[in-house]
Structure 1
Amino acid sequence: MLIYYGHPFSSYTWKVLIALYEKEIDFDYRSVDPAFPDHMPELRAHWPVGQFPLLVHDGVPYFESSIIIEYLDHLAAEPRLIPQDFDAALKVRFFDRIFDNHVMGRMQAVVADAIRGPENHVATIVEQSQAALETVYGWLDKELAGGGWATPHGFTLADCAAAPSLFYADWVHQIPERYENLRAYRARLLAHPSISRCVEDARPYRAYFPLGAPERD
């Protein structure tokens, strides 16, 4: 059986969980929440950096969320989350990077500023991150004008990345109403069974969010 280390409130943990749920792969979920003090030392034994999520299969560790999902496609071919066709796969990987770097990354910069506390607040970081989110929201709104999922290739790695990044980014810098396509896409994501499961499982941990978790989701 696969061993999966992560935290129910972690965005990148969600990204891989969504893939695991889509593929209906059995796994041993070891939460690294402080309530389970043995799990983080286990994780560090495999990956001294201590970052999660981390997947262990037959004693071999796999880390970095996109790599883990690619490995899951190797283990269970259906449903495929990265298309076999080169052009389609490139499109999916492109959107995966957009959501991780330009949505998730900017959101996390604002969250990290809040965690540092008011005495270490850096207004420039927050302002630049929120401005960058506004820009990428506008770009995504145009790209997603056709409805459906992130790419024309069904539910993929790109949507696994989009769900947690847009979920939390909207808490940091709410998607304006004028971006109807992006708001509708976020709503479709949150209604999808594998994603709604992550939302509900994370609900008990919302007090961890340093900016205060809104009640709308």
Structure 2
Amino acid sequence: MTPALYGHPLSSFTWKALIAAYERDVAFEFRMLGPDHPENLARIGTLTPTGQFPAVVDGDREIVESNAVIEYFDLFHGRGEPMVPLDRHEALEARMLTEVFDDYVHLQVQRIVGNALRTPADRDPTGVEYAHGVIERCYLWLEKRLPAGPWASGGRFTIADCAAAPALFYADWVHPIGEHLPKLAAYRARLLSRPSVARAVDEARPYRHLFPLGAPDRD
């Protein structure tokens, strides 16, 4: 049975699952979320606690949260090396960095973007300032932590890179990676040149007008 992946091409967390699927040639049916597909919106509302995505339905299995979706694909679909390394120490490193990108870059970008979507009276400048501070501290940590090799963990492309690609893609739009962070900037560039990531970027281009803070033409 072909699994159904619920998400939206502009969604950064959906990107994570798409990148992993493209890396390992996972066959799936994409279920677009949006006003033109009310049946999919209704379904995602029953799948996840708050309607967040991505989610996968595979027969009687329902998988929510991007990291779990990636690990599910590792176990049951696709081919090639899994996104979560089989070596326990490498897996720990990859999962750790995935959480760093998710919590200290990804979620902070979402806070900044979410604030921009609010009415001016409801905006939270203090919260936005805090989110920018968290991102910058994480940038500095990553600049010191990233290895000399091309990818975040273990010398090959893993779940950590699946998380890093959308996180750093959008983060650089809202909190630019400065000249004082050459390793991080070079890593972002390598990610964007990866075919699986480039595919996700291209699939999202038609929806860039929905991004409330503007979408730079350079990416």
- TM-score, with normalisation over the residues of structure 1? 0.96
Paired residues of 2:149 and 2:155 also in contact (CA < 8 A): no
Whole-angstrom CA distance in 1 between matches of 2:47 and 2:163? 24
Paired residues of 1:3 and 1:57 also in contact (CA < 8 A): yes
Deviates more, 1:107-116 or 1:72-81: 72-81
Q: CA deviation at 1:85?
A: 1.4
AA of the residue aligned to 2:20: A
Q: CA deviation at 1:80?
A: 1.2
Query: Which residues of 2 match residues 14-53 of structure 1 at below 5 A?
Result: 14-47=15-48, 49-53=50-54
Q: Is the counterpart of residue 159 in structure 1 residue 168 in structure 2?
A: no
Q: Higher mean Cα deviation, 26-35 or 96-105?
A: 26-35
Quote the residue 1:74 is aligned against.
Answer: 75
Moved more, 155-164 or 131-140: 131-140
Offset at residue 158 of structure 1 (A): 0.2
Q: CA–CA distance in 1 between the matches of 2:83 and 2:158?
A: 4
Is 1:11 paired with 2:12? yes
Query: CA–CA distance in 2 between the matches of 1:176 and 1:133?
Result: 12
1:198 maps to what in 2? 200
Structure 1 residue 142: Cα displacement: 1.3
Amino acid at match of 1:27: F
The answer for the alignment partner of 2:66 in structure 1 is 65
| C-alpha contact 1:5 1:54 (8 A) present in aligned 2 | yes
Q: Answer yes or no: is the 8 Å Cα contact 1:110–1:126 preserved in 2.
A: yes
- Output the CA distance in 2 between the equivalents of 1:163 and 1:62: 22
Which whole-Å CA distance do the structure 1 matches of 2:208 and 2:136 have between them? 24
Structure 2, unmatched stretches of 5+, are none
Q: Which amino acid aligns with 2:26?
A: I
The answer on whether the counterparts of 1:47 and 1:61 sit within 8 Å (CA) in structure 2 is no
User: Cα distance, 1:86 vs. partner?
Assistant: 1.2
CA RMSD of aligned residues (A): 1.3
- Give the deviation of 1:36 after TM superposition: 2.0
Contact 2:25–2:79, Cα closer than 8 Å, also in 1: no
How far does residue 59 in structure 1 lie from its aligned partner after superposition?
2.5
> Where do 4+ consecutive residues of structure 1 move more than 4 Å?
none
What is the CA deviation profile of residues 100-123 of structure 1, one whole-angstrom value per residue up to 9, with x for unaligned ones?
A: 001101111111111113221211
Matched-pair identity in %? 46
Match of 1:123 in 2: 125
> Once the 2 structures are TM-superposed, how far is the Cα of residue 78 of structure 1 from its aligned partner?
2.0
SS in 2 for 1:38: helix
* 2:51 maps to amino acid: G
The structural deviation recorded for 1:48 is 5.5
**Which one of 91, 98, 121 corresponds to residue 89 of structure 1?**
91
For 1:115 and 1:91, the matched residues in 2 are separated by 35
Work out whether residues 31 and 40 of structure 2, in 8 Å CA contact, stay in contact via their aligned partners in 1: yes
Matches within 5 A, 1:99-138: 99-138=101-140
- Alignment: residue pair count: 217
Kept after mapping to 2: 8 A contact 1:52/1:63: yes
Structure 1 residue matching 2:38: 3-state secondary structure: coil
Query: Take 1:155 and 1:174, find their aligned partners in 2: how far apart are those partners?
Result: 24
Query: In structure 2, how many angstroms separate the alpha carbons of the residues matched to 1:119 and 1:48?
Result: 28
8 Å Cα contact 2:117-2:212 kept in structure 1: yes
Q: Distance in 2 between matches of 1:47 and 1:130?
A: 28
User: What residue number does 1:141 align with?
Assistant: 143
Contact 1:104/1:165, CA 8 A, preserved across alignment: yes
Which deviates further from its counterpart, 152-161 or 1-10? 152-161
